[in-house]
Amino acid sequence: MNSLGLEVKKSLQDNLNIALKEAEIKWHQAIELEYKKLEKQKLTIKVN
């Protein structure tokens, strides 16, 4: 593979790694949000 091909491959790999990292962060944020909603719901149930 020529150097341009290797550069393109590395760039694609970097972009994929960045996208995966962003997706992982969003996934954790979504889980945290759902957890907080459930906690709030649980507190509401206890009060009633």
Give the global pTM.
Answer: 0.65
Check residue 42 and give its pLDDT.
85
CA distances from 1 to 4, 5, 7, 9, 18 (A): 8, 6, 10, 10, 24
State how far the Cα of 17 lies from the Cα of 22, in Å rounded to an integer: 9
The structure tokens 């889980």 sit at 31
Residue-by-residue pLDDT tens, the chain, 48 positions: 688 899 999 999 999 999 999 999 999 999 999 999 999 888 777 765
State how far the Cα of 47 lies from the Cα of 39, in Å rounded to an integer: 12
Cα 40 off chain centre by: 23
Check residue 4 and give its pLDDT.
87
